[in-house]
Amino acid sequence: MQNIDPIWSAVEHHQDDLIALSDRVWGMPELLYAEYRSCAEHTALLREKGFRITEALAGIPTAVLGEAGEGGPVIAILGEYDALPGLSQRAGIARPQPEEQGGAGHGCGHNLLGSAALLAACAIKDWLEKTGTPGRVRYYGCPAEEGGAAKAFMVRDGAFDDVDAAITWHPASMTKVDEAESLANTRMDFVFTGRASHAAVAPHLGRSALDAAELMSSGVNYLREHIPDSSRIHYAYLDAGGTAPNVVQARTKVRYAIRSTSLSGMRALNERVKKVAYGAAMMTETEVDISIMSAVSNMLGNTPLEEAMQRAMDELGGVRFDEADRAYAREIQATLSAEDIEAAYQAVGIEIQPDEPLCDYVVPMDKRGKAMMGSTDVADVSWKVPTVQARVATCAIGTPGHSWQLTAQGKSPAAHKGMIYAAKVMGVVGRMLLTDAALLARAKKDHSGRVGPEPYVCPIPAEVRPPLQPRPATE
């Protein structure tokens, strides 16, 4: 590929260091708010590359900010590095084989996500220094995207107050500008407290917290019939009350994820679920304590930024995969169902292509797929500042997120190629924003129109703090 953009050259100058960072982070998977080693790796590289560093951003020990440049607009590049539980997997093979049975793994590609974002920031930093252009680039090392809503806490606590625009990406099996659709999501804990008793000798003296949790589950299942089609409610028992069936369970804890397409819809649904919990407590003569663990907003798009990112992608073309990349991708696809592969095409609104293991093209912006919405804390940044996100092919078409197959591909040459591509796209969009005042003005106008007259209110109450995890005794 001929280098005609200085950002591309700067990315290529730093790419080996950042590929190595990605692979190191892949090898040390850490869960939400426990990403001490991963954050340290990112911090060390920021220091090596000459960024001004703020550690423990927003009071979160595993969040870091690196800044470069002077004056001008402030452009944020968002990175992540948290892993997922239970997705440990050996790299480079096409069969399930955990590195550590039951261990964590990078089944959402955040090792790539953070490294490419930092790579883009390095490229913009070099370009700012070489050209003397006024402006600042910031790399935000963000923990706990997987359920911990760190960015929402960071937005709430002012970490983005002086940012002009934000850019990010996510590993995927297709390359396109993200359609900016996601569900607002509250993770809420319900703790039922009853009274223990001997289940045979004196069952009448017991008040079962487990009964309350099960009645709540039944009530929410009936509620599902009467909520919008796009809303979602999920739950998991964190504590079912113990393993002794002859003891009436005195305490249970269940966590609910409550999702809707808007903040107002989510808040209304939260209240309906809480009423079911109060009813379950009343029926069982138990008490219920309700607390928010985390929450995120729905994503806001930004047409001027999306159009700019599409131009950057079109100029680059698709990710340049080789035959070795395709051969491994075919092995991975052999482990997938036809539905997995079909869903990847449906998500971007294009026809299924036979014998197409990897996406080496850019999906046109006018193609709209079937909405398959999850939730992300990037959404809260998008309510605060104009935000744009890329999806870039790093894995075999059809690879499900949060799967062993995605973990297995996390260190592959194809993943590295997609990561470098993502850095170039983000870097070019960052340069556009730093040199084109009209583009930034249009982005801000679009953003204010989407937010509307009411000020953004973070879905996490002010008194709720992130569920921080202790630093490991040995690292």
3-class SS string, 295-307: EECCCCCCHHHHH
**Is a pLDDT exceeding 80 seen at residue 372?**
no
Checking if the pLDDT of 2 tops 80, the result is no
- 474 has a pLDDT exceeding 80: no
Phi, psi angles (nearest 5°) of residue 390: -100, 150
Given the structure tokens 């070099």, which residue do they identify? Answer: 126
User: Any idea what DSSP says for residue 163?
Assistant: -
> Does residue 312 surpass a pLDDT of 80?
yes
Q: Is the pLDDT of residue 373 over 90?
A: no
Check whether 475 has a pLDDT greater than 60.
Answer: no
pLDDT per residue over 143-158, tens digit each? 999 999 999 999 999 9
Give dist(CA 291, CA 299) in Å, integer: 24
The residue-averaged pLDDT of 178-204 equals 97
The radius of gyration of the chain from alpha carbons, rounded to an integer in Å, stands at 23
- Each residue's pLDDT tens digit, 435-458: 999 999 999 999 999 999 888 899
* Number of CB atoms found within 10 A of residue 456's CB: 16
- Read off the pLDDT of residues 66-85 as tens digits, 9 standing for 90 and up: 999 999 999 999 999 999 99
Look at residue 3 in the predicted model and tell me its pLDDT: 54
Average pLDDT, the chain: 97
What domains lie within the chain, and their CATH numbers? 6-182+299-451 (3.40.630.10), 184-295 (3.30.70.360)
- Per-residue pLDDT, 1: 43
Task: Give the list of residues 6+ apart from residue 43 with CB closer than 8 angstroms, or none.
Answer: 53, 55, 64, 66, 141
**Angle, vertex CA 228, rays to CA 223 and CA 234, nearest 5:** 55
Cβ(405)–Cβ(332) below 8 Å: yes
DSSP code at position 406: H
- pLDDT digits 0-9 by tens, 261-282: 999 999 999 999 999 999 999 9
CB neighbour class for 290 (10 Å; exposed up to 12, middle 13-18, buried from 19): middle
pTM value?
A: 0.96
pLDDT more than 70, % of the chain: 99
Q: How many residues does the chain have?
A: 475
